[in-house]
Amino acid sequence: MTVQVGILGATGAVGQRFVQLLDGHPIFELACVTASDDSVGRTYRNAAEWRLSSEIPAFVADRVVRETDPAAVPDDVDLIFSSLPSDIAADVEPAFLEEGYVMSSNSSNDRMAPDIPLTIPEINPSHLGLIEVQREQRGWDGALVKNPNCSTITMVPTLAALDEFGLESVNVSTLQAVSGAGYSGVAAMEIMDNAIPHIGNEERKMETEARKLLGDFDGAELELHDADVAASCNRIPTIDGHLENVFTGLASNPEPAAVRDAMRNFESADLHSSPEQLIKVFGEGRPDRPQPRLDRSYADGMGVVAGGVEETTDGIQYNCLAHNTLRGAAGASLLNAELLVEEGWV
């Protein structure tokens, strides 16, 4: 089966990762790329500041960038990936959904809407059932699925693994890479030799999205997980890979070894882009891992790496890391799209 796809915002930091991941993908064939009016009409080679490898992928280099509008998308496209800035996505995405497109979106608008699935295939695939609710409530022929924010997706697989020990609270502090702010997001003069102890709205996204992802869906409504989540987000001068220090409060008192086993054994999904082992865990004696430069490419950037698992007075503390534009963004949308195909929504 081949599905023709389009990428909205294809020239940006996440859009370029989509292009990279779609090169040779067994199901998805890239039919069109869109961006802002500044890029429309230019070749992709000319419009995108390609920095991911020395060569821009040949299959996309000479494509002409199209307008971000359903009328500009070829008729045989069934699935749309969205990596637009959220304020633009809030205007544009409904137009595609009204036209019947299935959309897998990175943008943060509507992630917490009660009728929109916020999905990580290995964690909460059943939440896709919200598509029926969404179609009924919004009158869309299409379907909208969101993936979480990159810092949320880094910690939630580890929290899902800890849930069996009675997850009651989470305190997390992040060290986030500059690519998380997009192509023109952080000026070099601002971030080099520096750290910025706040990332606009990121803290609230982590606190709310984590509870939605871990929540229960009864087929009609979704109940948020009742853990308290508090986050503090920091930007540091790494290029890719978000590192997070997590302190959990647990109802039971597991040994660190039992927690490491629960993380290691947490089941992955049987999809083309899901890693065989979702969470790699460094054992005792390696409190200095994971590290962005050494560990962000684990499982081709689609896995999560944890380490430094230790007991605290209330529960367990550890560090975790994931590649923010792969597992945290384009790869997350791609996995959701693979799940949509697998479950017959496309």
Strand partners for 281:
306
Give the pair of three-digit tokens for residue 328. 């945290």
Q: Does 238 bind ligand NAP (CB under 6 A)?
A: no
HSE value, Cβ hemisphere, 13 Å, CA-based, for 42: 14
Contact status: 241 vs ligand NAP (CB under 6 A): no
Applying CB under 6 A, the site for ligand NAP has a residue count of: 30
CB of residue 86 to ligand NAP, shortest distance in Å? 4
Please say which residue, 162 or 339, places its beta carbon nearer to ligand NAP: 339
Considering beta carbons, is residue 155 or 167 the nearer one to ligand NAP? Answer: 155
Is-catalytic flag, 25?
no
User: Closest distance between ligand NAP and the C-beta of residue 249, in Å?
Assistant: 27
Q: Which residues contact 79 (CB under 8 A, 6 or more apart)?
A: 3, 4, 5, 6, 28, 101, 102, 103, 104, 337, 340, 346
Q: Which one of residues 13, 210, 278, 346 is an interface residue with ligand NAP (CB under 6 A)? A: 13
Site string for ligand NAP, 94-123 (x = CB under 6 A): ------------xxx---------------
Which 182-221 positions form the footprint of ligand NAP (CB under 6 A)?
A: 182-183
Of residues 277 through 336, those in contact with ligand NAP by CB under 6 A are: 324-325, 328-329
CB of 191 to ligand NAP, least distance (A): 14
* Burial status of residue 328 (CB atoms within 10 A of its CB: 0-12, 13-18, 19 or more): buried
Which residues, 252 to 271, sit near ligand NAP by CB under 6 A? Answer: none
Q: Out of 150, 225, 320, 323, which one is annotated catalytic? A: 150
Closer Cβ to ligand NAP, 84 or 309, answer by number: 84
Active-site residue, selected from the candidate residues 32, 225, 233, 242: 242
Q: Which residue from 4, 85, 224, 277 is in contact with ligand NAP, where contact means CB under 6 A?
A: 85
Separation between Cα atoms, residue 323 and residue 255, nearest integer Å:
28
- Closer residue to ligand NAP, CB minimum distance, 92 or 250: 92
C-beta of 248 vs 324, nearer to ligand NAP: 324
* Window contacting ligand NAP (CB under 6 A); options: 10-18, 125-133, 204-212, 314-322: 10-18
Whichever of 39 and 248 has its CB closer to ligand NAP, that residue is 39
Q: Please report whether residue 88 would count as binding ligand NAP according to CB under 6 A.
A: yes
Asked if 32 is an active-site residue, the reply is no
Kindly identify the residues of this chain, within the stretch 24-83, that bind ligand NAP according to CB under 6 A: 35-36, 38-39, 68, 83
Q: Which residues pair with 174 in a beta bridge?
A: 233, 244
Active site residues: 150, 242
| Residues found near ligand NAP in the complex (CB under 6 A) | 9-15, 35-36, 38-39, 68, 83-86, 88, 106-108, 149-150, 179-180, 182-183, 324-325, 328-329
